[in-house]
Amino acid sequence: AQSVTQPDIHITVSEGASLELRCNYSYGATPYLFWYVQSPGQGLQLLLKYFSGDTLVQGIKGFEAEFKRSQSSFNLRKPSVHWSDAAEYFCAVGVPYSGYSTLTFGKGTMLLVSP
Amino acid sequence: DGGITQSPKYLFRKEGQNVTLSCEQNLNHDAMYWYRQDPGQGLRLIYYSQIVNDFQKGDIAEGYSVSREKKESFPLTVTSAQKNPTAFYLCASSIEGTGGQPQHFGDGTRLSIL
């Protein structure tokens, strides 16, 4: 079965600084990969997804992620963080071409933005 | 605009009561899901339905029940057998019931015990 690890529970970044959130997955082939963001008391919003092709994926709100097969990673990046980016971020993996529709989510990384 | 509507946003339950959380979608999605979210534990899957009139247990189904009589609706009942129901509950849907498609989420219902 697939699994997802987000090694950082909390990360604090200064406003204007760059951001990288880590995500590692375990799966025997190339999975579908997703990043979601959750503001307090809200549902999850899809930031970006990787299905195949170009390993650098662009998403909404200026975020991007890079799929690295050799490292089983799908790290999320943003060049300059804004205070409004403070939220919890979840990485998720799905199994393509399968009978299963469920996704496996990491436990999340809380992003704090300092002035 | 299409989306997922969860109601109510806040719900209070007395000990021994069953309560039902509503989830409606107008995205014409085949699959729907219920998750429970507790601080520091991420999302845990309660039940999912890949098609109308069919549903499967997720990782933490004990104390919960669901129905899927219509494509648009997937209500979750938290029964009195669920001993620790206080949590944030999220409903989601995906266009297909197979293949790890992206899920779209509602804004959640926060359930508390009185």
* pLDDT tens-place string over residues B79-103: 988 889 999 999 999 998 777 788 9
Gap between the Cα atoms of A24 and A44, Å rounded: 20
pLDDT over 90 at B113, yes or no: no
For an interface test with B, the pick among A45, A93, A101 (most B C-beta atoms closer than 10 Å) comes out as A101
User: What digits encode the pLDDT tens for the residues B27-51?
Assistant: 999 999 999 999 888 899 999 999 9
User: What digits encode the pLDDT tens for the residues B3-16?
Assistant: 999 999 999 988 88
Q: What is the pLDDT of residue B41?
A: 85
User: Residue A43 is nearest to which of B40, B45, B90, comparing CB atoms?
Assistant: B90
Q: Which residues of B touch A95 (CB under 8 A)?
A: 99-100
List C-alpha distances in Å: B51 to A100, B46, B93, B96. Answer: 12, 16, 11, 9
User: What digits encode the pLDDT tens for the residues A91-102?
Assistant: 999 887 777 778
pLDDT over 70 at B1, yes or no: no
Q: Which residues of B touch A31 (CB under 8 A)?
A: 100
Indicate the burial class of A54 (C-beta count within 10 angstroms; 0-12, 13-18, 19 or more). exposed
User: Residue B105 is nearest to which of A44, A98, A106, comparing CB atoms?
Assistant: A44
pLDDT over 80 at B108, yes or no: yes
pLDDT over 90 at A52, yes or no: no
Question: Per-residue pLDDT averaged across A74-87, rounded?
Answer: 97
b/e B65-100 (16+ beta carbons within 10 angstroms → b): bbebeebbebbbebeeebeebebbbbbbbbeebbbb
Beta-carbon pairs below 8 A across chains A and B = 76
